[in-house]
Amino acid sequence: MRYIFVQGLGQSSSSWEKTISFLGDKEQFSHPDVFQLLNEEKKTYSNLYDAFSDYIEQFSEPVILIGLSLGAILSLNYAIDHPKKFQSLVLIAPQYKMPKSLLKMQNIIFRFMPETPFQKLGSSKNDFIQLTNTMMELNFSKALKGIECNTLVICGKKDIANKRAAKQVAKLIPNGYFQEIEGVGHEINTEAPEKLASILKEFLKK
């Protein structure tokens, strides 16, 4: 079994390291930097998803995807396209129908931010804005019922922007389960890595 951890927008692959440190056998775990998978390709959602899919296809063993935010969207998309490849799926703060007003607000915030935080992630401000612009029309509403594997949907209690969508994802996936984590917001993998690891251990035993 291969466990693949997929970071959120504004995170790097290292954002998973503390969570993984509480999970035991690290040889089974991968946490690629999804933006580096693009190489020189334009940072659009379509290109990112294609590069992400190519990365997963290199593993011959069954995979379990654990994605946060953008990572959850990529994981959800892949699970819809390859429903037989999974034993389990973990989605943290997912969206299934992109909230256009939220993405537009995020882009406005990006425009006023300095370039340095984006450069630290190996990207640029314009790349992030371009990526979110190409996500505006994503809508997986009708496809969620086709996901057959056990799916845990997690959201921090303080993550008001994503909680409603997370609950709906768990409701629409036939074997979906929702779990809220007290006292944390959006980036659960960095805010509460030990608590998240404990929840993952329990779910992945099933």
Q: What is the CATH number of the domain that holds 70?
A: 3.40.50.1820
Residue 106 lies in a domain: no
Residue 133 lies in a domain: no
- What are φ and ψ of residue 97, in 5° steps? -135, 115
Distance of alpha carbon 185 from alpha carbon 110, whole angstroms: 20
pTM equals: 0.91
Residue 103 lies in a domain: no
Residue 55 lies in a domain: yes
Residue 31 lies in a domain: yes
The strand pair at 86-92 and 150-156 is best described as parallel
Residue 105 lies in a domain: no
Tens-of-pLDDT digits for all 206 residues of the chain?
899 999 998 888 999 999 999 997 777 899 999 988 988 788 899 999 999 999 999 998 889 999 999 999 999 999 999 988 888 999 999 999 987 777 777 777 777 677 776 676 667 778 778 888 888 889 999 999 999 899 999 999 999 989 999 999 999 999 999 999 999 999 999 999 999 999 999 998 76
How many domains does the structure of the chain reveal?
Answer: 1
| Nearest one of 44, 42, 39, 38 to 132, comparing CA atoms | 44
Distance of alpha carbon 94 from alpha carbon 49, whole angstroms: 16
SS3 state at 81: helix
Encode 174-195: b = buried (16+ Cβ within 10 Å), e = exposed. Answer: eebebeebeebbbbbbbbbbeb
